[in-house]
Structure 1
Amino acid sequence: MSAARRVQQWATFGRMWYLYDGKWQNPLESADKIVPYLDGSHKPIFHPLNDSGDHVVVINSRDIALPGDEWEKRVYFHHTGYAGGATWTLAWQLHEADPTMIIRKTVYNKLSKNLLRRGRLARLHIFPDDKVPDSILKNVSAQMRQLRPVPRRLDHYPQEELENFPKIFDWPKDHVIN
């Protein structure tokens, strides 16, 4: 058996670690991408009763982007288990309190509702910024592609690139628009 074949088999049956950058990503769409890696449905050996999923490390969860006015409209539910212990929290309030909680709750709700759900969620590692402990980062073997590109701010472009950008009107340097 060749070495390439052995590596392929190890990647099929072993638990891989994937890195996902949540910067400027919609957590609802990101959860759709993360869940197959947690439950193992992207592998050819998948079975709903087997726990063959991988680890997913999500970074930059502080910089997620909800579309439209969902920061003010989306509500997250929590119950303490006691009578009268139900609370509803707006997305911006939950994100202010814990920047990892929106992604965690979204992925939890997208996972299959069975006894394996909490074990699969335990393989989801979320960090509010790009500072990941070396003990976790050394395990990461692949990176998941972002769903949409992160736009660059205008002040992040070099001055030379701004000056060489094609212009619709070629105004003189001393021209002032009123």
Structure 2
Amino acid sequence: MSTYMAKNEEVERNWYVVDAEDKTLGRISSKIAQYLRGKHKPTFTPHVDMGDFVIVVNAEKIKLSGNKWDQKKYYRHSNYIGGIKEMTYKELLAKDPEFIIEKAVKGMLPGNKLGRKMIKKLKVYSGDKHPHKAQKPVKLEL
């Protein structure tokens, strides 16, 4: 008996809604990454994008443990000499709360073409409204 390998045409994708209110960033991000990758399905195949679409609402109400709001920093560089910029997560929350969840989930996905395809199925919104009612998403408790 041979091992079952799914094909791209056989994949059935579902839509899920996750409420991030009062959830810890790392714990919710790892669960979202599992659903985006498709590891929750019994037909998981590593080289095929098996994942589902995940909608995250209330991104501005995410929690971090300890003093991470002030101590944890996000860095970016402009590729010019001395062009490093840093921002605490508290400043980042005020500026772009969706980016915090997107960056955490992206770091938990593969760093190749497949991972870049998977991250496109993540939709993050700062409020409790989202424009994906037509897809009939199912509420997912994490």
Cα deviation code 1:31-52 (max 9, x no counterpart): 1110011011111221221111
1:158 maps to none
Distance 1:19 1:145 in 2: 9
In the alignment, residue 134 of structure 2 is paired with which amino acid?
K
Note the 1:63-142 alignment, pairs <5 A.
Answer: 63-82=61-80, 84-133=82-131, 136-142=132-138
What does residue 58 of structure 2 align with?
60
Cα distance change of structure 1 residues 72 and 13 upon mapping to structure 2, 3 Å threshold: same
Number of corresponding residues: 133
AA at the equivalent of 1:114? N
1:83 positional shift: 5.0
Seen in structure 2, the aligned counterparts of structure 1 residues 118 and 82 have a Cα distance that, compared at 3 Å, is farther
Kindly provide the amino acid, as one letter, of the partner of residue 88 in structure 1.
E
Alignment RMSD (CA, Å) = 1.7
Q: TM-score, normalised by structure 2?
A: 0.85
- Are residues 18 and 75 of structure 1, via their aligned partners in 2, closer, same or farther at CA, if it must alter by over 3 Å? same
Tell whether the 8 Å contact from 1:108 to 1:121 is kept in structure 2 after alignment.
yes
Distance 1:48 1:78 in 2: 31
> Residues 116 and 84 from structure 1, CA distance in 2 versus in 1: closer, same or farther, beyond 3 angstroms?
farther
Does the C-alpha gap of structure 1 residues 82 and 43 become closer, same or farther in structure 2, counting only changes over 3 Å?
farther
Q: 1:44 aligned to 35, 42, 45, which one? A: 42
Deviation at 1:77, TM superposition (A): 2.3
TM-score (norm 1): 0.69
1:23 aligns with 2:2: no
Q: Specify the structure having the higher radius of gyration (Cα).
A: 1
The aligned amino acid for 2:72 is R
Match of 2:12 among 11, 14, 18: 14
- What secondary structure does 1:117 align onto? helix
CA distance in 2, matches of 1:131, 1:117: 27
Which amino acid letter does the alignment assign opposite residue 135 of structure 2? N
Greater displacement, 52-61 / 115-124: 115-124
1:60 & 1:112 partners in 2: Cα distance?
26
Q: Helix, strand or coil: the match of 1:25?
A: coil
Partner of 2:30: 32
Could you tell me which residue of structure 2 aligns to residue 164 of structure 1? none
Measure, in 1, the Cα distance between the counterparts of 2:41 and 2:57: 24
Distance 1:84 1:65, change over 3 A: same
| Residue equivalent to 1:3 | none
Give the % identical residues.
33
